[in-house]
Amino acid sequence: IFARILRGEIPNDTVAENDHALAFRDITPRAPTHVLVIPKGKYVSFDDFATNAPPDEITGFMRLCADVARQEGVSLEGGNGFRAIANAGPDGMQEVPHFHLHILGGRRLGALVADG
Ligand code: AMP
């Protein structure tokens, strides 16, 4: 599904973009800011990306995450902070098998994980 977003086949609410990554709003936001950042390359998970992506793609992806936090007013430059989450595999309850980082903020987010 995120590959189709990258190809422009499915509309998305784009927040920011660079050569290596795209950031768009989650369709089911769990916080006032809930943005997904995805690399333009094909990686299934955080560990696939971290292991196999070339350094310029990793840098481009990470820089876009920082740009999003700043743009959304949740970075520590003037904002109240945020959480960056990458779910991986069944125990991580990853739903979409295309690596993405959730950037959540705009409210106090509570405990790191729910029990059970
Ligand atoms: P995860 O459980 O980490 O794989 O999260 C997948 C996320 O993708 C969920 O928060 C969904 O709400 C979100 N999502 C699924 N389809 C779309 C879409 N077409 N546009 C934006 N967000 C989406």
Q: How far is CA 29 from CA 19, 50, 112, in A?
A: 25, 26, 17
What per-residue confidence (pLDDT) applies to 52? 98
d(CA 52, CA 58): 10
- Short-list 95, 94, 72, 90, CA closest to 82: 72
Domains and CATH numbers, the chain: 2-105 (3.30.428.10)
What per-residue confidence (pLDDT) applies to 114? 86
pTM over 0.85: yes
What per-residue confidence (pLDDT) applies to 41? 97
Which helix (H) or strand (E) segment holds residue 21: the answer is strand 21-25
What 3-state DSSP class applies to 65? helix
Alpha-carbon dihedral of residues 77, 102, 109, 83, nearest 10 degrees?
-40
- Please give the distance, rounded to the nearest whole angstrom, from the Cα atom of residue 59 to the centre of ligand 1: 23
Residues of the chain with pLDDT under 50: none
Q: How many CA atoms lie within 13 A of 73 on its CB side?
A: 4
On whether the CB atoms of residues 83 and 108 are closer than 8 A, the answer is: no
On whether the CB atoms of residues 75 and 82 are closer than 8 A, the answer is: yes
If one counts every other C-beta atom within 10 angstroms of the C-beta of residue 98, the result is: 21
Ligand 1 pocket member 51 (CB < 6 A): no
Ligand 1 pocket member 95 (CB < 6 A): yes
| Residues marked as catalytic | 100
What per-residue confidence (pLDDT) applies to 116? 66
